[in-house]
Structure 1
Amino acid sequence: MAITITQSAADHIRRHLDKRGHGLGLRLGVKATGCSGMAYQIEYVDEPAAADQLFQQFGVSVYIDPDSLPYLQGTELDYAREGLNEGFRFRNPNEKAACGCGESFTV
């Protein structure tokens, strides 16, 4: 199974990489935290790690470390604006529950 990136997310990533002036893509990962147990992490990638798994769509690259990959298999990375709120949205089929604030999830 792969990670998919929507056109909206790809456009957003590309704009920010262009504004930043360098970088190969984004790293998507998970960390243990929050009231539900895990939270998504996103950071720029200037130099990929040797073990990173690479997913590309719409001309952008998303790197995932091997420890995070089992929790992210099948996830769709989207970017949306809703009223005054905007940000990445994760459609993760492994997610069993999320906290009320939306900052963490359980698998």
Structure 2
Amino acid sequence: MDNPIQLTEKAQLEIRSTLEANKIPDTYGLRVGLRGGACSGSFLLGFDTATEHDQAYLIEGIKVLIDKRHLMYVIGVSVDFEEGANGSGYTVSAAEKLK
């Protein structure tokens, strides 16, 4: 399978910077998943270790962990990092699905 999600250049830089600044061990990866129900849930991002339910991907040199139960809901999302007047943070947006 191709990479299920996209990481923008800004997100990649910020993820690498966070990993280095916090001396996060190589055993951790970026977890992308859902919080709450599939239809009404929100996206979840964070650094975590893999569990037996995870599928691991190497995307642009960054280890990404996705719970196999969440995979179908996160395929095609794009993770970005934005800086604005209201602060900065990661954003997750669903790509347009092909019809």
Q: Contact conserved, 2:6 with 2:79, CA < 8 A, in 1?
A: yes
CA distance in 2, matches of 1:25, 1:32: 21
Shift of 1:93: 3.2
Structure 2 unaligned segments of length 5 or more: list them: none
CA distance in 2, matches of 1:49, 1:83: 37
Query: Partner letter of residue 42 of structure 1?
Result: L
TM-score by length of 1: 0.72
Over aligned residue pairs, what C-alpha RMSD do you find? Answer: 2.2
Shift of 1:57: 2.6
Report how many residues are paired: 92
Q: Contact conserved, 1:72 with 1:94, CA < 8 A, in 2?
A: no
Q: 4+ runs of 1 displaced by more than 6 Å?
A: none
Aligned residue for 1:55, secondary structure, equals strand
Shift of 1:38: 0.5
TM-score by length of 2: 0.77
Q: Contact conserved, 2:82 with 2:91, CA < 8 A, in 1?
A: yes
CA distance in 1, matches of 2:93, 2:40: 17
Q: Contact conserved, 2:80 with 2:90, CA < 8 A, in 1?
A: yes
